[in-house]
Amino acid sequence: MVQETVVAVAKQMREGGYDRTKSSFKNWLCLITRRRIIDHVRKRTDPKLRAPPQVREGNSRTDSNDRVPDPASLELDSVWEEEWQKNLLDAAIERVKQLVTPKQYQIFDLSVLRDLPAGEVTKLLKVNTAQVYLARHRVGSLIKKEAKRLEAQAEKAVIKS
């Protein structure tokens, strides 16, 4: 399904299938992905298109096609958006990590990403509480800016291609 989705995206990009004025790139890509999943499920459930199940002796495992959930039961939009935001945030964090001092990032990591109380962070890293709150604010702001920049960059890359 992934390969079929990539091929479909490439074909539609060449043919001008993506129109920025109609929807965002994320929504357009989600639509193409959803269609590939639906096509796959139709092939799997249509008796004319479905291959007979292969049963291996001594193997009681379910065939991988039978483990794919029905797309109608999934909330694809919310899953898609959640994954998009998570990957965007991870990329932004990695880039900002290179811009700040190791100490600042360590404070941010412990207090924000690992959700340790400021008091514990001060004891662990031998810093004062003001440094914890300052690092949280500065690094957090940089990550937000970087995430917005990355999202804008992704939109521009789609438009250019």
Copy the structure tokens of residue 94.
């990695």
The half-sphere exposure of 129 on its side-chain side, counting CA atoms within 13 A, is 3
Among residues 74, 96, 124, the one where a domain terminates is: 74
pLDDT in tens, 57-101: 555 555 565 566 555 555 667 777 788 888 889 999 999 999 999
CA dist 54 → 38, 61, 141 (Å): 23, 11, 54
pLDDT in tens, 137-152: 999 999 999 999 998 8
Among residues 48, 74, 100, the one where a domain terminates is: 74
- How many domains would you assign to the chain? 2
Copy the structure tokens of residue 13.
């990009």
pLDDT band at residue 40 under the 50/70/90 scheme: confident
Q: Are residues 92 and 140 in the same domain?
A: yes
Instruction: Check residue 24 and give its pLDDT.
Output: 79
Copy the structure tokens of residue 21.
């004025």
Q: What percent of the chain has pLDDT over 70?
A: 76
Among residues 74, 109, 127, the one where a domain terminates is: 74
Instruction: Check residue 55 and give its pLDDT.
Output: 52
Q: For residue 60, what are the domain limits?
A: 1-74
Q: Which residue has the higher pLDDT, 127 or 47?
A: 127
